[in-house]
Structure 1
Amino acid sequence: MTARSGVRTSVLQNAHLNGDCKFIDYPSVDIVEQPKHGRTEVLHQPVVVDSGGKKMKCDKVKADGVVVYYTSQPGYVGSDKFILRTPEERGRIVEGVADVKVVK
Protein backbone atom coordinates (compact mmCIF):
# COMPACT_ATOMS: atom_id res chain seq x y z
CA MET A 1 0.00 0.00 0.00
CA THR A 2 1.00 3.61 -0.43
CA ALA A 3 0.57 6.35 2.18
CA ARG A 4 1.43 10.03 2.11
CA SER A 5 3.99 11.17 4.66
CA GLY A 6 2.33 12.23 7.92
CA VAL A 7 -1.22 11.52 6.64
CA ARG A 8 -3.45 9.02 8.47
CA THR A 9 -4.34 6.25 5.98
CA SER A 10 -6.88 3.43 6.36
CA VAL A 11 -5.21 0.04 5.78
CA LEU A 12 -7.87 -2.44 6.97
CA GLN A 13 -11.61 -2.42 7.61
CA ASN A 14 -13.56 -5.34 9.03
CA ALA A 15 -17.05 -6.00 10.43
CA HIS A 16 -18.58 -9.03 12.14
CA LEU A 17 -22.22 -9.46 11.07
CA ASN A 18 -24.85 -12.20 11.36
CA GLY A 19 -26.85 -13.68 8.44
CA ASP A 20 -29.29 -10.76 8.61
CA CYS A 21 -26.41 -8.25 8.26
CA LYS A 22 -26.77 -7.15 11.89
CA PHE A 23 -23.83 -6.28 14.14
CA ILE A 24 -22.50 -9.15 16.28
CA ASP A 25 -19.35 -7.67 17.81
CA TYR A 26 -16.16 -5.85 16.91
CA PRO A 27 -13.64 -8.12 15.18
CA SER A 28 -10.38 -8.58 17.04
CA VAL A 29 -7.33 -6.99 15.42
CA ASP A 30 -3.98 -7.00 17.20
CA ILE A 31 -0.86 -5.12 16.19
CA VAL A 32 1.90 -7.71 16.62
CA GLU A 33 4.72 -5.41 15.46
CA GLN A 34 4.48 -1.62 15.27
CA PRO A 35 6.00 0.24 12.30
CA LYS A 36 9.48 1.68 12.79
CA HIS A 37 8.70 5.00 11.09
CA GLY A 38 5.14 5.67 12.19
CA ARG A 39 2.23 4.42 14.25
CA THR A 40 -0.94 2.39 13.87
CA GLU A 41 -4.36 2.86 15.44
CA VAL A 42 -7.21 0.37 15.77
CA LEU A 43 -10.57 2.17 16.03
CA HIS A 44 -14.20 1.08 16.35
CA GLN A 45 -16.24 3.02 13.81
CA PRO A 46 -18.76 2.54 10.98
CA VAL A 47 -17.45 0.77 7.86
CA VAL A 48 -18.95 -0.22 4.52
CA VAL A 49 -18.74 -4.01 4.16
CA ASP A 50 -16.80 -5.11 1.08
CA SER A 51 -16.84 -8.79 0.15
CA GLY A 52 -13.98 -8.34 -2.31
CA GLY A 53 -16.07 -8.94 -5.42
CA LYS A 54 -18.02 -11.92 -4.06
CA LYS A 55 -21.79 -11.58 -4.28
CA MET A 56 -22.69 -11.72 -0.60
CA LYS A 57 -25.88 -10.59 1.13
CA CYS A 58 -24.17 -8.02 3.36
CA ASP A 59 -21.92 -6.51 0.65
CA LYS A 60 -22.03 -2.68 0.72
CA VAL A 61 -23.92 -2.60 4.05
CA LYS A 62 -22.80 0.12 6.48
CA ALA A 63 -22.10 -1.42 9.90
CA ASP A 64 -20.11 -0.93 13.07
CA GLY A 65 -16.64 -2.36 12.61
CA VAL A 66 -12.91 -1.98 13.08
CA VAL A 67 -10.59 0.24 11.07
CA VAL A 68 -6.78 0.10 11.22
CA TYR A 69 -4.97 3.33 10.36
CA TYR A 70 -1.28 3.93 9.61
CA THR A 71 0.40 7.34 9.98
CA SER A 72 4.09 7.86 9.20
CA GLN A 73 6.30 10.25 11.08
CA PRO A 74 5.99 13.73 9.51
CA GLY A 75 8.54 14.16 6.73
CA TYR A 76 9.43 10.46 6.52
CA VAL A 77 9.65 9.04 2.99
CA GLY A 78 10.56 5.40 2.30
CA SER A 79 9.45 1.91 3.29
CA ASP A 80 7.77 0.84 6.50
CA LYS A 81 5.93 -2.25 7.69
CA PHE A 82 3.88 -3.60 10.57
CA ILE A 83 2.30 -6.95 11.43
CA LEU A 84 -1.41 -7.54 12.18
CA ARG A 85 -3.10 -10.59 13.70
CA THR A 86 -6.78 -11.42 13.26
CA PRO A 87 -8.81 -14.50 14.13
CA GLU A 88 -10.85 -16.13 11.36
CA GLU A 89 -13.48 -18.83 11.15
CA ARG A 90 -12.96 -22.18 12.85
CA GLY A 91 -10.37 -20.84 15.28
CA ARG A 92 -7.73 -19.99 12.69
CA ILE A 93 -5.47 -17.03 13.42
CA VAL A 94 -4.03 -15.09 10.50
CA GLU A 95 -0.98 -12.84 10.66
CA GLY A 96 -0.25 -10.46 7.85
CA VAL A 97 2.61 -8.12 7.07
CA ALA A 98 1.50 -4.69 5.88
CA ASP A 99 4.22 -3.23 3.65
CA VAL A 100 3.86 0.52 3.28
CA LYS A 101 5.49 2.79 0.72
CA VAL A 102 5.52 6.30 2.21
CA VAL A 103 5.63 9.14 -0.35
CA LYS A 104 5.66 12.95 -0.10
Structure 2
Amino acid sequence: MSDRRSQRVCLRPSSIQPAPSLPSISPATIGRLAQQLADIFRCETADLLTEASNRASDQAHNLVRLLSKVSANDRAMLVEMVEKLATRLGSRRTDTGRH
Protein backbone atom coordinates (compact mmCIF):
# COMPACT_ATOMS: atom_id res chain seq x y z
CA MET A 1 0.00 0.00 0.00
CA SER A 2 2.85 2.39 0.74
CA ASP A 3 4.18 1.85 -2.80
CA ARG A 4 0.84 2.94 -4.17
CA ARG A 5 0.88 6.14 -2.17
CA SER A 6 4.34 7.04 -3.36
CA GLN A 7 3.18 6.78 -6.99
CA ARG A 8 0.40 9.33 -6.60
CA VAL A 9 0.84 12.60 -8.39
CA CYS A 10 0.08 15.73 -6.48
CA LEU A 11 -0.97 18.77 -8.49
CA ARG A 12 -0.42 22.08 -6.87
CA PRO A 13 -2.06 25.27 -8.15
CA SER A 14 1.36 26.63 -9.12
CA SER A 15 2.03 23.61 -11.39
CA ILE A 16 -1.20 23.95 -13.39
CA GLN A 17 -0.62 25.78 -16.66
CA PRO A 18 -3.41 27.69 -18.44
CA ALA A 19 -4.51 26.24 -21.77
CA PRO A 20 -2.95 27.99 -24.74
CA SER A 21 -5.31 30.47 -26.32
CA LEU A 22 -6.39 30.19 -29.91
CA PRO A 23 -4.88 32.71 -32.29
CA SER A 24 -7.22 35.49 -33.28
CA ILE A 25 -8.62 34.96 -36.76
CA SER A 26 -9.87 37.92 -38.72
CA PRO A 27 -13.06 37.79 -40.81
CA ALA A 28 -10.90 38.34 -43.89
CA THR A 29 -8.91 35.19 -43.08
CA ILE A 30 -12.11 33.20 -42.64
CA GLY A 31 -13.39 34.56 -45.95
CA ARG A 32 -10.20 33.54 -47.77
CA LEU A 33 -10.33 30.08 -46.21
CA ALA A 34 -13.97 29.66 -47.23
CA GLN A 35 -13.15 30.74 -50.79
CA GLN A 36 -10.23 28.30 -50.96
CA LEU A 37 -12.46 25.45 -49.76
CA ALA A 38 -15.12 26.40 -52.30
CA ASP A 39 -12.47 26.35 -55.04
CA ILE A 40 -11.28 22.92 -53.91
CA PHE A 41 -14.82 21.50 -53.86
CA ARG A 42 -15.83 23.44 -56.98
CA CYS A 43 -18.91 24.99 -55.40
CA GLU A 44 -20.15 28.37 -54.23
CA THR A 45 -18.92 29.60 -50.88
CA ALA A 46 -22.51 29.75 -49.56
CA ASP A 47 -23.01 26.10 -50.51
CA LEU A 48 -20.42 25.08 -47.94
CA LEU A 49 -22.76 26.23 -45.19
CA THR A 50 -26.22 25.74 -46.64
CA GLU A 51 -25.90 22.12 -47.78
CA ALA A 52 -25.17 20.95 -44.24
CA SER A 53 -27.81 23.17 -42.65
CA ASN A 54 -31.02 21.83 -41.16
CA ARG A 55 -32.87 25.13 -41.69
CA ALA A 56 -35.81 24.83 -44.10
CA SER A 57 -34.77 27.96 -46.02
CA ASP A 58 -31.26 26.58 -46.63
CA GLN A 59 -32.68 23.22 -47.67
CA ALA A 60 -35.07 24.99 -50.05
CA HIS A 61 -32.11 26.84 -51.58
CA ASN A 62 -30.35 23.51 -52.09
CA LEU A 63 -33.48 22.07 -53.77
CA VAL A 64 -33.65 25.09 -56.10
CA ARG A 65 -30.04 24.46 -57.11
CA LEU A 66 -30.75 20.77 -57.75
CA LEU A 67 -33.99 21.44 -59.64
CA SER A 68 -32.26 23.94 -61.91
CA LYS A 69 -30.17 21.09 -63.34
CA VAL A 70 -33.11 19.07 -64.74
CA SER A 71 -35.61 19.62 -67.54
CA ALA A 72 -38.97 21.32 -66.96
CA ASN A 73 -40.82 17.98 -67.21
CA ASP A 74 -38.51 16.28 -64.72
CA ARG A 75 -38.73 19.30 -62.43
CA ALA A 76 -42.54 19.10 -62.45
CA MET A 77 -42.36 15.38 -61.62
CA LEU A 78 -39.93 16.02 -58.74
CA VAL A 79 -42.06 18.83 -57.32
CA GLU A 80 -45.14 16.57 -57.42
CA MET A 81 -43.20 13.82 -55.62
CA VAL A 82 -42.02 16.21 -52.92
CA GLU A 83 -45.57 17.55 -52.47
CA LYS A 84 -46.94 14.02 -52.02
CA LEU A 85 -44.22 13.07 -49.57
CA ALA A 86 -44.65 16.27 -47.57
CA THR A 87 -48.42 15.77 -47.40
CA ARG A 88 -48.09 12.15 -46.31
CA LEU A 89 -45.33 12.76 -43.78
CA GLY A 90 -47.04 15.89 -42.47
CA SER A 91 -50.30 13.97 -41.85
CA ARG A 92 -48.40 11.14 -40.19
CA ARG A 93 -46.78 13.64 -37.87
CA THR A 94 -50.14 15.02 -36.73
CA ASP A 95 -51.59 11.49 -36.42
CA THR A 96 -48.95 10.54 -33.86
CA GLY A 97 -49.43 13.77 -31.92
CA ARG A 98 -45.87 14.98 -32.48
CA HIS A 99 -45.34 18.61 -33.49
Is the shorter-chain TM-score for this pair beyond 0.5, marking a shared fold? no
TM norm structure 1: 0.20
Answer 1 or 2: which has greater helix percent.
2
TM norm structure 2: 0.20
Answer 1 or 2: which has greater strand percent.
1
Larger radius of gyration: 2
